Amino acid sequence: MRARPLLAALALSILLPASAQAVEFDPDDAETGAPVADYVSETQHLVNQAMSYLGIRYRFGGTSPETGLDCSGLVQNVFRNAVGLDLPRTAREMASLGNRVTRRDLQPGDLVFFNTMRRTFSHVGIYLGDGQFVHAPAKGGSVRVESMQTSYWTQRFSGARRLVSDEAPSTENLATR
């Protein structure tokens, strides 16, 4: 009784390889895109892009890494180059975009706003995670990372907005792509 299933399995093992056809890989037939190992999320790309600006000098009204950046010029450059979003010119205008985020719900890539000129949303930076953000601080400074936990930034925190998320995309209230 046990011989029949064994014979059937033996017959299949002999016949199946004979009917299989060899298929050659043609790179022209492959879908284009990054290999899985090279995939970087949009938020990680934002963080990487922001970190590439470290050390660029501050310049009031600056919009170019070559001549200097102010806080909103930094954010504009990072979002344009990392994810193709063209943001408005000022921190105040940026504060009306995307979705509001509480301080405890901050995620890397979120915009963080501060009151540094006696008005809300007068300064903007990009949250990096672990209580850190990158920004272009002030005259005489350069793009740098700072802790949001210092008393200076804690007292001046005005709010945060999420423009990019690695979860389901939301096009609500976004700048143009």
Any idea which residues carry the catalytic annotation?
71, 123, 135
33 is written with which tokens?
């895109």
Compute CA distances 115 → 14, 58, 120, whole Å. 77, 18, 4
SS3 percent helix, strand, coil of the chain, rounded to 5, is 35, 20, 45
Stretch (H or E) spanning 126 = strand 123-129
Q: Which residues of 134-157 are buried (b: 16+ CB within 10 A; e: fewer)?
A: bbbbeeeeebbebebeeeebeebe
